[in-house]
Amino acid sequence: MKKIISLFLLMVVFTAMLTSVAFAADEEITIGVFEPFTGENGGGGFQEVLGVRYANEIYPTIEVGGTTYKINLFEVDNKSDKTEAVTAAQSLVSKGVVAVVGSYGSGVSIAAGEIFAEAQIPAMGASCTNPQVTFGNDYYFRVAFLDPFQGTVMANYAIQNGATKAAVITQLGDDYSSGLGSFFVTAFTKLAGEGAVVAQEQFQTNQTDFKAILTNIKALEPDVIFAPSSIVTAPLLIKQARELGITATIMGGDTWENVTIIENAGADSEGVVLSTFFDEAEPATAEAESFVTGFKEYLVANNQPDVIPAVSALGYDAYLAVLTAIKNADSVDPNAIRDALVTTEFDGVTGHISFDENGDADKNMAFIKVVEGGQFKFLQTVTIAE
């Protein structure tokens, strides 16, 4: 009888232990992933998502208040479209996410910003660089540098390499393209003088023929053409410029660091110069060193080229920023996470990250790369003092 009672008690204890373990394992939180999987920014959005997914694989759980939470990702496609972005943002709110990561593309990030702010859910931008993403929005932060800085970096590079005349081509209605182009114009004019920007041309979304624009530009003989645009548009612009015999250096922003541009533009992409956030050959932190090794393996396992896009590194850092804020808040409440982000600091893949009063990362360094031999080759880092 005693043996039966003892066995029964043992079973009760064992069952209680299993229940306890199961309960702990069932504690979950969800981070929203707000990115374009389709549309003109779908390629870049997917690269950014890979960084977020890998970060979640490396840091799948978090301990808060003595409880271990499994972190789930809930991904939505904003389709590179401002209207669709609002719908996608609303679906994240309905899902009850504790924070959001994204988006690739400033326009969709700006469009969704008010939705996140009204719901009091913090959003962490990865590569969205237009100042309007965070300006006036207490719930939007970002780990990337801003377009005023990026535009100044590219203008400085052009001047340092002998350019005295520049042409600028931007996409009408696209916040990233028009914003970055405008900042380049301001910086280049300040450095080279009034009239140094000899042309400012615009094109429509989904436009594929740029020969009229480029013909006008060719007649003005600029030394450089700065054309911040999408991955889809870039190779068309590059090829058509070279077909017209334009020999000016063609320059782009961070969106151009994508191997599909080289694949689609072919030999015409040789000599193209761009600014970006990260170089795998120059890991700045211990986190970066481990990321480079592990993420390359992750890319190969997912049938991707083993070249690390800067936006993947930023996606990883955006996830880390949210994770660090949750630890600092010791809470899974969205408002507590938002408040913790204000003072959050950590060493990410793209360097040491902290946030200013607007929620923007305190960064003053960019990487300049050139297409050489069919690959992106590191040229130099550029640091601009505030």
In a domain, 212, yes or no: yes
pLDDT value of residue 385 = 61
Residues 136, 75 share a domain:
yes
Residues 137 and 152 in one domain: no
Could you tell me if 44 and 100 lie in one domain?
yes
Q: Are residues 169 and 216 in the same domain?
A: yes
Give residue 264's pLDDT: 96
Containing structural domain, residue 295:
24-145+282-355
Considering the domain architecture, whether residues 138 and 159 belong to the same structural domain is answered as no
Whether residue 140 is found in the same domain as residue 152: no
| Count of CB atoms situated within 10 Å of the CB of 201 | 18
CATH of the domain at 307: 3.40.50.2300
Coil, strand or helix at 197? strand
Report pLDDT for 365. Answer: 83
pLDDT at residue 283, as a whole number? 86
> What are the C-alpha distances in Å from 309 to residues 17, 46, 257?
45, 11, 7
Residue 68 lies in a domain: yes
One domain for residues 237 and 299: no
* 12 is a domain residue: no
Q: What is the pLDDT along the chain (386 residues), one digit of tens a residue?
A: 444 444 443 444 444 444 443 334 459 999 999 999 999 999 999 999 999 999 999 999 999 999 999 999 999 999 999 999 999 999 999 999 999 999 999 999 999 999 999 999 999 999 999 999 999 999 999 999 999 999 999 999 999 999 999 999 999 999 999 999 999 999 999 999 999 999 999 999 999 999 999 999 999 999 999 999 999 999 999 999 999 999 999 999 999 998 999 999 999 999 999 999 999 987 888 999 999 999 999 999 999 988 899 999 999 999 999 999 999 999 999 999 999 999 999 999 999 999 999 999 998 889 999 999 999 999 988 877 65
Indicate if 66 and 190 belong to the same structural domain: no
Residue 42 in any domain: the answer is yes
The per-residue pLDDT for 364 is: 81
Q: Are residues 178 and 71 in the same domain?
A: no
**Is 173 a member of any domain?**
yes
Concatenated DSSP letters of 144-163? SPPHHHHHHHHHHHHHHTT-
> Are 194 and 225 a contacting pair, CB within 8 Å?
no
Residue 11 lies in a domain: no
Please tell me the predicted confidence (pLDDT) of residue 26. Answer: 58
Does any domain span residue 337? yes
How many structural domains does the chain have?
2
Say if residue 60 is in the same domain as residue 196: no
In a domain, 6, yes or no: no
171 and 197 fall within a common domain = yes
Place of tokens 């049938």: 303
DSSP annotation of 355: B
- Do both 52 and 134 map to the same domain? yes
Q: Which long-range CB contacts under 8 A does 230-234 form with residues at least 24 apart?
A: 230/40, 230/41, 230/44, 230/171, 230/174, 230/177, 230/255, 231/40, 231/41, 231/43, 231/44, 231/255, 231/256, 231/258, 231/260, 231/261, 232/40, 232/43, 233/40, 233/171, 233/203, 233/207, 234/261, 234/265
